[in-house]
């Protein structure tokens, strides 16, 4: 596969799997999407922040969980409508 094709991340919402335990079990594709995300939605910004810090990803984290999902949902939709890359990770 062409290296340039692998690096293209189109706008939209991505569900990105994160490793359980060993941080280096994350895939290259997951790292690529996270690095190119305009915002990263996560349950716990402290826990997810450790993962992103480990890989030197400094993109904006936004707390997203069952207690605030209705409030945050419109923000997420606005980002996607503006052709932004939004990632959702789970702890």
Q: pLDDT digit string (tens) for 9-64? A: 899 999 999 998 899 999 999 999 999 999 999 999 998 999 999 999 999 999 99
Give every strand in the sheet of 60-63, ordered side by side.
12-15, 85-88, 39-42, 60-63
Question: Could you please report the per-residue DSSP string of 36-89?
Answer: T-SEEEES-HHHHHHHHHHTT--PEEEE--TTTHHHHHHHHHHHHHTT-EEEE-
Q: Is residue 2 part of a domain?
A: no
CA dist 82 and 76 (Å) reads: 10
Q: Is residue 56 part of a domain?
A: no
pTM: 0.86
Q: Is residue 15 part of a domain?
A: yes
Q: Is residue 44 part of a domain?
A: no
pLDDT at 21: 85
What sign does the dihedral 37-25-51-91 (CA atoms) show? positive
């Amino acid at each position: 596969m062409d290296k340039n094709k692998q690096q293209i991340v189109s706008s939209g919402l991505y569900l990105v799997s994160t490793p359980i335990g060993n941080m280096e079990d994350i895939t290259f594709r997951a790292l690529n999407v996270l690095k190119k995300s305009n915002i990263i939605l996560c349950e716990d910004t402290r826990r997810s922040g450790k993962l992103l810090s480990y890989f030197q990803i400094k993109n904006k984290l936004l707390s997203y969980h069952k207690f605030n999902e209705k409030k945050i949902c419109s923000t997420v939709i606005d980002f996607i409508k503006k052709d932004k890359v939004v990632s959702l990770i789970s702890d």
